[in-house]
Structure 1
């Protein structure tokens, strides 16, 4: 009896783990499609990217707003987790900061479409923005502090200032084909480096 109960419990855990993995695959696919095609991309395009049927997406996320909010949170967590990993894997904290900012820029592309999708739920959008700030500003601060400690940048900017600056540079991206926000962001990050590092 106890063995059967244990087997049932393990089966339930496996199903839950499979469900979580499936949801992560869907969110990763949706994020990629949103970056490429915007948040109004057809659900069938996301389903094709994930290798599932459209019905599977609706079972996990009944509305487009549900899906967009989940992608938003998924990308925030991915950015948050990437910061410490980049610091551990990259010899130069300044380089790690640049790589992390690249991920942040990709996230902002999706984020800019969120306001329109949630225009009737201002409280919900504000709560997500607070979550985004609380989760990501400390990660950016750790990257900046590591670069300062390594002597690679001067302590002349806060994490919040940097993220606001990057956000402002990205705000007009996609509206003007002659405007390259990514290039400007790279110049900004390069400009944070001490002169000796910029020459290297």
Structure 2
């Protein structure tokens, strides 16, 4: 191993060690940066995949990827799984609910002290911001992932929905396991 690569490795390990210590010692700044960066990554990934699919769907309505997975073009004016879609003022109604919800999630994520929970909250925040962005720009959320088995289809969703789901699962699991641990 050359001295340059050894030096680079030592510097990288030192940076990782300092970041880890700052995160685990309760640095509010680093936890907040982690939440914001995670949310930005989720939002960017979701908006990028939606743009990619939108360009794919200019002349077609469905792309069959696997026997159980299709990409389809859906504009969801409702909430998760298309509930309450099609009502006259549904987009305005969901914007009035979603924007304060994003602020509440941001507040809750900034209060979090545990690293895993910070990442989970960043998934929820990033997914929510991406879907609110869609509602503002397009009047609906663009969904495209269609899982199915034979003729049984799961409701069409997007990367933001998956991130929100995973974030909620991790927050619930982490808070439940913490309470179980405190009982023993």
Relative to the length of structure 1, the TM-score reads: 0.29
More strand by proportion, 1 or 2?
2
More helix by proportion, 1 or 2?
1
Answer 1 or 2: higher relative contact order, Cα 8 Å, separation at least 6.
2
